[in-house]
Amino acid sequence: MTTTTPPIITPGPVPQRKLTRAEKRAVDAKTKLSSPAASTIAIAIAILWTIPTLGLLVTSFRPELDIRRSGWWSFFSDPAITLENYNEVLYGSSTNISTALVNSLVITIPAVVIPLTLALLAAYAFAWIPFKGRNILFVAVFALQVVPIQVTLIPLLTLYVDTGLSGSFWAVWLSHAMFGLPLAIFLLHNFMKDIPASLIEAARMDGAGHVLIFFRVLLPLLTPAIAAFGVFQFLWVWNDLLVSLTFAGTGNISPLTVRIADLSGTRGTAWYLLSAGAFISMIVPLIVFLGLQRFFVRGLLSGGVKG
Amino acid sequence: MDWFLDAGTVGHKLALMVLAIVLFAAVMAVILFAVDRPKRIPQWVVVLGFLGPPLLLLAVGLVYPGIATFFGSFQSGNGSRFIGLDNYVTIFSEANFRLVLRNTVLWVLVAPVVATLIGLVYAVLVDRTRFENLAKALVFLPMAISMVGASIIWRFVYEFRPDQPGIAQIGLLNQLLVLVGGSPQQFLLTQPWNTFFLIVVMIWINAGFAMTILSAAIKAIPDDIIEAARLDGVAGLAMFRYVTVPSIRPALVVVLTTISIGALKTFDIVRTMTGGQFGTSIIANEFYTQAFRQQNQGLGAALAVLLFVLVTPIIVYNVRQLRLSEEVR
């Protein structure tokens, strides 16, 4: 698959040549957006996509009374800033979102590490250990991607209740690991099989076993793929509502999404709490996303879309 | 045992997390160490060491529950007796469930088409302009946040205040409505339009996804095709219609199908914005309500199976097109 990296203009001395692709397109681009209609549409979309978030962000810093009396746009004519909303939603006795922030972290880290590790091993076996029935088994794992998680929830909950795991972190970790595996194995296998066989053969000649090959030869080459799936799974788990709502409930171990959805249901007009709470839940994924964006895009382009 | 299950304090939770990871790493290390004796251990043991744990999880977490749900869908509310197809009959005959089905169809049709259209237009418009990266980031960012967060953002846009003197609108949409001389509306309560106002959130989230995939596809169109078309005098909209769109057809199909799969399974938006009330419920949300709120697990199972049946053909088609678009490149 191609990446989104735009062609780079090399400044090297290449006399008497035609324009490079990039230069030609750069010339085209100038003619393209000169149309006022086109720029207007582009700017309109950009504004539509930004304003709703901006409105809530501004609101989260306005005093409670102001929020109820006037729209967030009046902030610009009459600015008053407070951090009280954040303080209240984080530590206030009725909301206490700070515990949910800890829960989100505690849920997410193992829920990324465990399926990632298991999928790496499975993808290695599917790519580099020949055995009977390998292809059929791989197709079966791949096909499991069609199973919507809704289909699994009722029996899984019964299983967790029977084993006493219900309402504990273990139930949430296990569930996220299970649901992440088919996509993880598929994505990592795609990357893994692209590694030249000669590398593996050479290591085998030197007497390296599977574990040594896996750690010494493959792992360093797979860093981008691991990052790609890591970002996916991180965002998916951190932003998940359904799995946590079902297995963790709204109690002591519920993550941010559950707590904020709950707040939205019970105190739907308390915008000073909702706005600050929503932004607390968005900060971590935004940082991860912006920091690792290119891996995320790469994962998207190689078919990594979790249903 | 309680220590493992009931984590109350922050320190306890963090300790439990570290323990879970260490425990997992230790188990995996033991398995790998035991298996890694080349030539001394039969091949199938090696394979079992690598594949056993993930396959076990998949069997317990996806295969068994899938089968159990299938059989559960033929049983009564609490799973006590076999009632044949009654749950399915209920879904297709009762008025409130038919509303759920109609809404689901709306979601699956409207969200992908509009999101893809916006993503495509935007990708073409900002392609290779000076602000391309910034412009893309703005539309892309909603993908990073949770659907719960997005729902809060949009509920605030739709916020309604009664139309009385002295009371100002604080929701952007109603303020705009008032500015142009209209009266404020309860966007999330008025049927059937409220469903469309929920779909807007889905479009807002997914346009960035469409833009990313389509932008990559556009950049991959060979230059000679564009060059040839230009020599033939094709430009502007005609270029878009007759050269760009046909060249990225496989990517378009992948984007459309992927978003419809997402729309079909949307739970968070409906749950957070309306809780499925006021005639806005869709299958994925109704499943949760029936299975875990109404304690009608038979009906919940039937809804889940229906979801599975609807999603499968789209995914199969999606995967085929994905393969195709890979071959084209």
Domain-wise residue ranges, chain B: 2-72, 86-328
Q: What is the pLDDT of residues A229-260, one digit of tens each?
A: 888 899 999 999 999 999 988 778 899 999 99
Least CB-CB distance to B142: which of A49, A124, A145? A49
Using a CB-CB cut-off of 8 Å, the residues of chain B touching A264 are 148, 151-152, 155, 272
Nearest to B57 among A118, A124, A168 (CB): A118
Residue B112 in this model has a pLDDT that exceeds 90? yes
What pLDDT is attached to residue B3? Answer: 73
- Segment A23-29 mean pLDDT: 53
CA of B247 vs chain A CAs: smallest distance (Å): 15
Closest residue in chain A to residue B300, using alpha carbons only? A154
Q: Model confidence over A182-225: pLDDT tens digits?
A: 988 988 888 888 888 888 888 888 877 778 888 888 888 888 88
How far apart are the C-alpha atoms of A226 and A160, rounded to whole Å? 30
Indicate the DSSP class of residue B145.
S
Query: Does residue A275 belong to the interface with chain B, where contact is any CB pair within 8 Å?
Result: yes
Give the per-residue pLDDT at B207. Answer: 92
Task: With beta carbons under 8 A apart, name residues in chain B contacting A147.
Answer: 62, 66, 308
Task: Please state, in angstroms and rounded to a whole number, the distance separating the CA atoms of residues A57 and A74.
Answer: 14
**What does the mean pLDDT of chain B come to?**
86
Question: Does the structure's ipTM exceed the value 0.95?
Answer: no
CB contact under 8 A, A239 and B13: no
CA nearest B118: which of B188, B200, B36? B200
pLDDT band per the 50, 70, 90 thresholds, residue B223: confident
- Residue in this structure with the two tokens 């599977």, named with its chain if needed: A210
Angle subtended by helix axes A293-301 and A223-239, to nearest 10: 90
Q: Which residue matches tokens 């993908």? A: B143
Both structure tokens of B18: 């570290």
What confidence tens digit (pLDDT) does each residue in B134-146 have?
A: 888 888 889 889 9
Asked whether the predicted pLDDT for residue B167 surpasses 50, the reply is yes
Q: CA of B94 to nearest chain A CA: how many angstroms apart?
A: 22
What residues contact residue A167 under an 8 Å CB cut-off, 6+ apart? A247, A248, A249, A251, A253
Average pLDDT rounded to a whole number, residues A155-172: 89
Which are the contacts of A239, defined by CB distance < 8 A and separation ≥ 6?
A: A257, A285, B145, B146, B147, B148, B149
Bigger pLDDT: B315 vs A298: B315
Q: Closest residue of B to A284, CA-based?
A: B145
The residue among B3 and A62 whose pLDDT is bigger is A62
| Domains defined along chain A, listed by start | 22-82 (no CATH), 97-301 (1.10.3720.10)
| % pLDDT > 90, chain A | 22
Average pLDDT, whole number, for chain A? 81
Q: How far apart are CA B107 and CA B264, in angstroms?
A: 7
Token digits of residue B128? 């290779």
Q: Give pLDDT, residue B314.
A: 87
A169 touches chain B (CB under 8 A): yes
B274-303: average pLDDT = 89
Select the more confidently predicted residue: A13 or A163.
Answer: A163
- Give φ, ψ of A13 to 5 degrees: -75, 100
Specify the pLDDT at position B80. 74
Q: Of A211-220, A264-273, B279-288, where does the model show the most confidence?
A: B279-288
How many whole angstroms from its chain centre is CA B124? Answer: 24
Query: Phi first, then psi: what are they for B149, rounded to 5°?
Result: -60, -45
pLDDT at A302: 66
H-state helical runs in B127-146: 132-140
B49-64 pLDDT, tens digit per residue, is 888 899 999 999 899 9
pLDDT, position A28: 54
Q: What is the pLDDT of residue B325?
A: 65
B79: distance to nearest CA of chain A, Å? 11
Residue A287 in contact with partner chain B when CB distance is under 8 A = no
For residue B50, the chain A residues in CB contact (below 8 A) are 121-122, 124-125, 129, 210
Residue B38's pLDDT is 59
What is the mean predicted confidence (pLDDT) over A145-169?
Answer: 89
User: With an 8 Å Cβ cutoff, are B149 and A170 in contact?
Assistant: no
Q: Which of residues 263-302 of B touch A (CB under 8 A)?
A: 265, 267-268, 271-272, 275, 284, 287-288, 291-292, 297, 300-301
pTM for the predicted model, two decimal places: 0.86
Residue A156: predicted pLDDT: 92
Q: How do residues B68-107 score in pLDDT, each as one tens digit? A: 999 988 888 776 788 888 888 888 988 889 999 999 999 9
CA distance A129 to B72: 38
With an 8 Å Cβ cutoff, are A125 and B168 in contact? Answer: no
Tokens representing A7 are 């062609």
What is the mean predicted confidence (pLDDT) over B161-178? 84
Find which of A33-37, A91-95, A116-120, A291-295 is predicted with most confidence, using mean pLDDT.
Answer: A116-120
pLDDT(A128) > 90:
no
Cβ–Cβ contact B6 with A under 8 A: yes
> Distance between CA B206 and CA B278 in Å, rounded?
25
pLDDT exceeds cutoff 50 at B14: yes
Any A CB within 8 A of B262 CB:
yes
**Looking at the complex, does the CB of residue A212 fall below 8 Å from at least one CB of chain B?**
yes
Q: Domain B86-328 sits in which CATH superfamily?
A: MetI-like (1.10.3720.10)
- Mean pLDDT within B121-139: 85
Reported as a pLDDT band with limits 50, 70 and 90, residue A9 is very low
Q: Is the pLDDT of residue A10 over 60?
A: no
| Rounded (10°) CA dihedral A252, A256, A259, A260 | 170
Residue A289: partners with Cβ closer than 8 Å, 6 or more residues away: A231, A235, A296, B141, B143, B144
Task: Answer whether residue B236 shows pLDDT above 90.
Answer: no
List, as one string, the DSSP characters of B4-66. HH---SHHHHHHHHHHHHHHHHHHHHHHHHHH--TTTS-HHHHHHHHHHHHHHHHIIIIIHHH
Separation in Å, CA A85 to CA A65, A275, B34, B242: 11, 8, 55, 53
**Which of A 30-69 lie inside 8 A of B, CB atoms?**
32-33, 35, 38-39, 41-42, 45-46, 49-53, 55-56, 59, 67-69
Mean per-residue pLDDT, A124-129: 85
| Most confident option among A1-5, A238-242, B230-234 | A238-242
For chain A positions 125-164, those within 8 Å of chain B (CB to CB) are: 125-126, 129, 131, 137, 141, 144-148, 150-157, 159, 164
Residue A26 has a pLDDT of 52
DSSP state of B280: T
pLDDT of residue A16: 41
Tell me the pLDDT band of A107, cut-offs 50, 70 and 90. Answer: very high
Give the pLDDT mean for A62-89: 84
Q: Bigger pLDDT: A35 or B60?
A: B60
Which pair of structure tokens corresponds to residue A277?
């709470």
Following DSSP, what letter does each residue of chain A receive, concatenated?
---SPPPPPP-S--TT-PPPHHHHHHHHHHHHTTSHHHHHHHHHHHHHHHHHHHHHHHHHTS-HHHHHHS-GGGGGTS----SHHHHHHHH-TTT-HHHHHHHHHHHHHHHHHHHHHHHHHHHHHHHHS--TTHHHHHHHHHHGGGS-HHHHHHHHHHHHHHHT-TTSHHHHHHHHHHHHHHHHHHHHHHHHTTS-HHHHHHHHHTT--HHHIIIIIIHHHTHHHHHHHHHHHHHHHHH--HHHHHHTTTSTT--HHHHHHHHHHHSTT-HHHHHHHHHHHHHHHHHHHHHTHHHHHHHHHTT----
CB atoms within 10 A of CB B29: 11
Q: A with B: how many residue pairs have Cβ under 8 Å apart? A: 348
Q: Tell me the shortest Cα–Cα distance from B194 to chain A, in angstroms.
A: 17
Determine the pLDDT at residue A252. 84
Percentage of the residues of chain A whose pLDDT score is greater than 70? 87
Residue B162 neighbours by CB distance under 10 Å? 8
Residue A209 in contact with partner chain B when CB distance is under 8 A = yes
Q: Kindly report the nearest CA distance between residue A195 and chain B, in angstroms.
A: 18
With beta carbons less than 8 A apart as the criterion, state whether A107 and A168 touch. Answer: no
